[in-house]
Amino acid sequence: MARVQVIDDLGFRVEIESPPSRIVSLVPSWTETLFTLGLGDRVVGVTKFCVEPADKVAAVRKVGGTKNPDLKAIATLAPELVIANAEENRREDVERMRAQGMAVLTTYPRTVPGAVESLLKIGRAAACEVEADALAREITRVVSEVEAEIGVWSKLRLRAFCPIWKKPWMAFNADTYAHDVLRMMGFNNVFASAGERYPVTTLDEAIELRPDVVLLPDEPYEFNERDVDELRAELPAGLARRVLIISGKDLHWYGVHMITGLKTLANRLARVRAAVL
C-alpha cells in the first residue's frame, strides 16, 4: 500500500508508510472511537483518562495523563501513529514526539462538523476509511435528528452559564466545541464573546451576564450535588432553581460518543427549557 499523507487539524502533514499496526491514543474520546472502528487490537498505549470502552482499555498500557504523558514509555511502544488533541495535550509534548520521528496526528475540532472532519482524518491515517465514513454518517444523522427535534426552540435561546472549572471559575467562548454543542441544543453561551477561549471569571461576573440556567458538567471539573447546593446559596432566587448537572462526556467528547451523548444531552436540556419557558 502506498504511503498515506494526512493534513491534521493544525496543518501538519502526517506521513505513514503503511497501515499503522501500533497506535497510541492520548485523547479519551478518540480512544473509545478507535475501538469502535475495529482498531482495538492495534491500540498499544492510552492515557490513564482513557476509560472507554472500560472492558477493553483496562488491559492497554497506560502512558501517563493527557497533560503529562510518559514520552519514554510511548517511545518504547514504537507507535506508528499517535493520536493527539491540541487542547488536551501540550504542544511541547507533540513536538518532542515528532522530533523523535513519530507520526502524530493532532485533532482540534471546535465545532460539531469539525469533529466529524477530524474523525474522517483519523480514518484515513489509520487505514479504516470505510468504517470512519460509516460512523461519520451516523453522527451526522444524529445531529440532524437533534436539530429537527429542537426546531423552533433554536430561535428562542436560553442564556446558559456553563463553567468547566471552579476555584477559579472558568468558562469557554464561542471558539470551542462545547459552545457549538450548546448552540446546536438551542442555548446561548453567556461567555461566547470572551476574548480568551477559556476565560477565568467570577460568579458575580457570570451573574451580571444574566444567564437563564447554570449547567455544571461533571468533567473536566467534577461538579456534583454538593456544588449545586453551594451555588444555589449564592445565586439569585430565580436562577438558583435552574442549576443542573450534565454529563461532561456528552458536552466535550468527540467521535462515537456523539451518537448517544448528543441525544442524551438534548433530552436533558429539553426538560430544562420546558421548566423555564
Q: What is the CATH number of the domain that holds 209?
A: 3.40.50.1980
Domain end among 112, 127, 142: 127
**98 assigned to some structural domain:** yes
Residues 209-236 pLDDT 10s: 999 999 999 999 999 999 999 999 999 9
Mean pLDDT for the chain overall: 95
Domain ends where: 95, 112, 127? 127
Residue 236 covered by a domain:
yes
Residues 120 and 166 in one domain: no
- Same domain? For 59 and 162 the reply is no
- Burial class from Cβ neighbours inside 10 Å (0-12, 13-18, 19+) for residue 199 reads middle
Are 35 and 113 members of one domain?
Answer: yes
How far, in Å, CA of 72 to CA of 60, rounded? 16
156-178 pLDDT, tens digit each = 779 999 999 999 999 999 999 99
114-129, pLDDT tens digit by residue?
A: 999 999 999 999 999 9
| Cα distances (Å, whole numbers) of residue 193 to 121, 205, 223 | 30, 14, 24
Q: State the DSSP code for 2.
A: P
* 272 falls within a domain: yes
Q: Is residue 134 situated within a structural domain?
A: no
**146 within some domain:** no
- Give yes or no: residues 122 and 158 share one domain: no
Please report which residue ranges of 18-111 form alpha helices under DSSP H.
28-36, 54-57, 71-76, 91-99
Could you tell me if residue 206 is inside a domain?
A: yes
Total domain count for the chain? 2
The answer to whether residue 21 sits within a structural domain is yes
Contact 105, 81 (CB under 8 A): yes
Task: Determine, yes or no, domain membership for 40.
Answer: yes
The answer to whether 18 touches 77, Cβ cutoff 8 Å, is: no
For residue 27, what are the domain limits?
4-127
d(CA 104, CA 204): 42
**Which of 94, 127, 160 corresponds to the end of one domain?**
127
**What pLDDT digit, counting tens, does each position of 74-91 carry?**
999 999 999 999 999 999
